[in-house]
Amino acid sequence: MPLDKQINPQIKKIHPYIPGKTIEEVAQQNRLKPAQVLKLASNENVLGPSPKAVAAVKESCKRLHLYPDGSGKALKIKIAQQLKVKPNQVLLGNGSNELLEFVCKAFVRPGDEVVVPEITFSMYNAFATLAGAKIKKVSLTDYVLDTNKLLKAVNKKTKIVFLCNPNNPTGTVISHESIKKLIRALPEKVIVVLDEAYGDFRSGKGMAQSQEFLRRENVLLLRTFSKIFGLASLRIGYGLAHPKLADLLNRVRQPFNVNGVAQAAACAGFADKSHQSKSKQLVRAGKKVLEKKLKELNLLVLPSEANFVCVRVGNSKKVSEAMQKEGVVIRPLGSFGLKAFIRITIGTAAQNRRVIKSLKRALKK
Ligand SMILES: Cc1ncc(COP(=O)(O)O)c(C=O)c1O
């Protein structure tokens, strides 16, 4: 097939991202009404978006005929003021996914290497491979990344090191001290991407502490509006970096990469502290109950600081299929390399009760 020969060989090495099924798909396949389907598979905010973000979306629709602010000035200023950084340290992306793409495009050339944890979010691997990198995987130790082990995988060819904290799909965290030590030990030319998509759910200082790394030119912190802010559908994420790194990454982006509706919603959502703390509280309380119930079933539950739990259930494909038939959608983790595990997004109290009941039935089958 001629196309096969024409295509960039790196593209043959990657597979399309397989997202979880939509509520409508699950409903149709199992002869249910969409309202009967409970989706706890993609770590979305079960409270939905902030009402203030929704109001901002409505208002922004009056300007749909205009190009958005290509520099995202208002949102950058809002983020910068709140996080005590400079606006020229803030990057905006069409989801934080796009910022991952930028960093790979900007720094990776064919033949370079990147280092990633063996079990983590798949897009690090995908974007780096597309850019021509060889991927070096570091296995987890007791489901946590050992930064000393990671350091050993770094060599002269290494361009980027990816860290996911808390890690998707395990929910486990690497301590601030370990990351600090790692960054100090790495050559300054190696870019460190610290993906904190789930950082907003952490207890303690968490994300605020990692901002101390921004003194370095080689650190990119990635965050998203898709999780605690409940704006996954709008596709918007942000990054924080040293102004020099931010400037380089900004050269890679398209002129209007983040749409105006998303910018308006993110501005309003970012300011709505009450929605953020309600969401965090719901996750914290729900996680406690879920963990307890799961442990009562004698299942291994990994310690999670994210808005999901990672649980060992045996045959995760079989279990998730049985649950899906009842309209309960969770994520089997075979594609992440954890065949025996599922990932459950923390829901409301009633949703958590339903997921446990459904899981109990599935385990008996
Ligand atoms: C660890 C991690 N990073 C980044 C993303 C991408 O988020 P988004 O592109 O929606 O901002 C996700 C999405 O699930 C994720 O789990």
pLDDT digit string (tens) for 133-186?
999 999 999 999 999 999 999 999 999 999 999 999 999 999 999 999 999 999
CA 152 – ligand 1 centroid, Å: 27
CA 223 – ligand 1 centroid, Å: 8
pLDDT at residue 342 in the model:
98
User: What is the DSSP code (8-state) at residue 61?
Assistant: G
Strand order in the sheet with 134-138: 90-93, 237-241, 219-224, 191-195, 158-164, 113-117, 134-138
Domain ranges for the chain = 2-47+274-364, 51-272
CA-nearest residue, atom 12 of ligand 1:
197
CA 283 – ligand 1 centroid, Å: 18
CA 76 – ligand 1 centroid, Å: 20
Contact 105, 159 (CB under 8 A): no
Our mutation pick for probing the ligand 1 site, out of 173, 221, 226, counting the most ligand atoms within 8 A of Cβ, is 226
Contact 240, 85 (CB under 8 A): yes
CA 19 – ligand 1 centroid, Å: 12
- 2-47+274-364 matches 51-272 in fold: no
Low-confidence spans in the chain with pLDDT less than 70: 1
Our mutation pick for probing the ligand 1 site, out of 97, 145, 336, counting the most ligand atoms within 8 A of Cβ, is 97
237 Cβ below 6 A of ligand 1: yes
Cα 323 to Cα 23, 105, 160, 236, 341, distances in angstroms:
14, 40, 39, 31, 14
- Between CA 215 and CA 91 the distance in angstroms is 16
- Between CA 216 and CA 203 the distance in angstroms is 25
**226 CA closest ligand 1 atom index:** 10
359 Cβ below 6 A of ligand 1: no
Q: Among the CATH numbers 1.20.120.80, 3.30.470.10, 2.40.128.110, 3.90.1150.10, which is that of 2-47+274-364? A: 3.90.1150.10
Q: Enter the pTM of the model.
A: 0.96
pLDDT at residue 136 in the model:
98
Span 51-272 CATH architecture: 3-Layer(aba) Sandwich (3.40)
**Per-residue pLDDT reduced to its tens digit, 29-42:** 999 999 999 999 99
pLDDT at residue 51 in the model:
98
pLDDT at residue 1 in the model:
66
**227 CA closest ligand 1 atom index:** 10
